[in-house]
Structure 1
Amino acid sequence: MMPFGAGRRMCPGYGLALLHLEYFVANFVWNFEWKAVDENEVDLSEKLQFTIVMKNPLKVNLIP
């Protein structure tokens, strides 16, 4: 599924949506303290599926 479509019929709000998403993620990272649940090093290894995803999902506690 492609939420914004593709080609000539692509959603005109695509650029605006990406700007809002970037703003949301930046504020989410900035306003919370992130701590790994098990206090070990975070494993950033990847695996290939339909897209590239983390091999071991990131589990964190968010502290405001």
Structure 2
Amino acid sequence: MEESDFEEKYNEIRKMNSNLVVIGKTNIDNDKEDFDNEAEDDDADNGDESEGDDFEQETG
């Protein structure tokens, strides 16, 4: 197969793939942000409560 034939086939495949419908999640980055926001909220809530406990454990 010559290089020009290869490029033609490659372009045909690229055109076919552009028409395909994507199934599944496409916004993975948004999901990561949601998890990060939840973790920050939990850390903020537990931070005040656990500071005293950590200090007592270190000295006791």
Please indicate the TM-score interval, normalised by the length of the shorter structure.
0.3 to 0.5
**Which structure has the higher relative contact order (CA within 8 Å, separation 6+)?**
1
Q: Give the TM-score normalised by structure 2.
A: 0.38
Larger strand percent: 1
**Taking structure 1 as the reference length, what is the TM-score of the superposition?**
0.36
More helix by share: 2
Which of the pair has more CA radius of gyration? Answer: 2
